[in-house]
């Protein structure tokens, strides 16, 4: 599917368009990027100090958890919101997911948007390998969400941001003036039955304030929907949930496994998130490259991913 999204991409060095040159992508000034045999391409500039993103173990855990359908209701709710705002075929553009991970939510959205191409952006190579094959209309591209995105101005009719970093200036630049941004954030009681007994990261009390500060210079809120569901998670699913989120970076796995064994099997767990719809502010996108290239600290994340 990579060939179908090349027209939406831009060289991370000069901003020029890209074209396929056998096993690579190349811009008119000669910058070239090899296409991995798994079907994705990394457009992360050489020397960029981006982290490696989710590890293979984290991606495997996320894939197993999501494939079991535990967050299917969330994916369906997001897909419905995507259909509500981007179903008009007359408005051109791709569906962009920044911090797409395995491409699970992007694939769900594309299922409600026939004919739309999807662009999955992530810094993790293991995640990109999965995203490249999760749906026939998804192209997977490696990049750093905190740097200038390797995407053409106004290329996207819809941008998704699900438990992921948010670079407001760049999201505005790549989104069509007629497009919409969908942001999924956890509520205070999201996974609460697990965060306390397992010591998982909790939701930032200033979540809404941080979201507004990040996006208000470039977007205005057009609507907000809360999605809630009661999950029943067995010990294996709980282990995968912990292993796929930021807890995985610092967990004492022996201690965590012992805590999980002390829980009932299964556990009733609350899913509680908000899907916010943002419209771009009038006046056109900021000039290309206007986003700062300095790395900011990403927002606090839960095990929600």
pTM of the model: 0.90
Give the model's pLDDT for residue 51: 62
Give the model's pLDDT for residue 250: 81
What is the domain extent for residue 9? 2-280
- Return the CATH number at 138: 3.40.50.150
Number of domains comprising the chain: 1
Whether 301 shows a pLDDT value over 50: the answer reads no
Q: Give the residue from 56, 52, 59 showing the smallest Cα distance to 245.
A: 59
Q: Is residue 44 part of a domain?
A: yes
Of the listed ranges 59-63, 88-92, 132-136, 223-227, the one predicted with least confidence: 88-92
Q: Give the residue from 276, 279, 278, 242 showing the smallest Cα distance to 257.
A: 242
Structure tokens given for 14: 């000069």
pLDDT, tens digit, for every residue of 4-28? 899 999 999 999 999 999 999 999 9
- Average pLDDT of every residue of the chain: 89
Please report the beta strands in the chain, taking only residues with DSSP state E, as ranges in sequence order: 18-21, 24-27, 32-34, 41-42, 94-98, 118-122, 138-142, 156-162, 175-186, 219-233, 267-280
Q: Is residue 298 part of a domain?
A: no
pLDDT top residue among 10 and 165: 10
3-class state of residue 56 by DSSP: helix
* End-to-end CA gap in the chain: 25
Backbone angles phi, psi at 81, to 5 degrees: -65, -40
Give the model's pLDDT for residue 196: 86
Backbone angles phi, psi at 80, to 5 degrees: -65, -40
Q: How many residues does the chain have?
A: 305
Q: Is residue 303 part of a domain?
A: no
Q: Is residue 302 part of a domain?
A: no
Query: Is residue 119 a contact partner of residue 142, using CB atoms and an 8 Å limit?
Result: no
Q: Is residue 137 part of a domain?
A: yes
Residue with tokens 């020397």: 47
pLDDT, tens digit, for every residue of 42-100? 999 987 765 678 999 999 999 999 999 999 999 999 999 999 988 777 788 999 999 99
In whole angstroms, how far apart are CA 246 and each of 21, 88, 99, 205? Answer: 38, 37, 14, 18
Q: Is residue 287 part of a domain?
A: no
Structure tokens given for 274: 């908000």
In whole angstroms, how far apart are CA 189 and each of 194, 195, 273? Answer: 10, 9, 9
The band of 290, judged by pLDDT with boundaries at 50, 70 and 90, is very low
Give the model's pLDDT for residue 297: 33
Rounded CA separation 194/270 (Å) = 9
Q: Is residue 71 part of a domain?
A: yes
Q: Is residue 297 part of a domain?
A: no
Give the model's pLDDT for residue 304: 54
Give the model's pLDDT for residue 49: 63
Helix H, strand E, coil C: the string for 121-147 is EECCHHHHHHHCCCCCCEEEEECCCCC
């Amino acid at each position: 599917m990579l060939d179908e999204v090349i027209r939406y991409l831009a060289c991370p060095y000069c901003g020029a368009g890209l074209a396929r040159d056998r096993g690579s992508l190349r811009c008119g000034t000669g910058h070239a990027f090899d296409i991995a045999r798994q079907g994705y391409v990394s457009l992360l500039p050489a020397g960029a100090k981006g982290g490696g993103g989710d590890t293979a173990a984290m991606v495997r855990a996320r894939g197993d958890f999501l494939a079991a359908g535990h967050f299917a209701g969330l994916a369906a709710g997001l897909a419905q919101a995507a259909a509500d705002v981007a179903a008009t075929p007359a408005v051109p553009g791709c569906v962009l997911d920044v911090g797409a991970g395995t491409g699970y939510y992007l694939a769900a959205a594309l299922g409600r948007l026939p004919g739309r191409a999807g662009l999955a952006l992530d810094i993790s190579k293991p995640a990109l390998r999965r995203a490249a094959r999760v749906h026939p209309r998804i192209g997977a591209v490696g990049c750093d969400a905190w740097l200038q995105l390797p995407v053409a101005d106004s290329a996207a009719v819809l941008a998704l941001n699900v438990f992921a970093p948010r670079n407001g200036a760049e999201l505005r630049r790549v989104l069509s003036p007629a497009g919409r941004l969908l942001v999924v954030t956890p509520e205070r009681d999201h996974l609460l039955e697990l965060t306390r007994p397992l010591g998982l990261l909790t939701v930032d009390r200033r979540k809404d304030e941080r979201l507004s500060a990040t996006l208000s210079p470039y977007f205005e809120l057009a609507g907000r929907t809360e999605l809630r569901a009661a999950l029943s998670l067995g010990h294996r699913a709980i282990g995968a949930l912990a292993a796929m989120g930021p807890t995985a970076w610092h967990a004492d796995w022996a201690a965590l496994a012992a805590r999980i064994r002390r829980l009932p099997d299964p556990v009733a767990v609350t899913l509680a998130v908000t899907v916010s719809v943002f419209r771009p502010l009038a006046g056109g996108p900021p000039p290309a490259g206007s986003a700062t290239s300095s790395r900011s600290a990403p927002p606090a994340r839960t095990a929600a991913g």
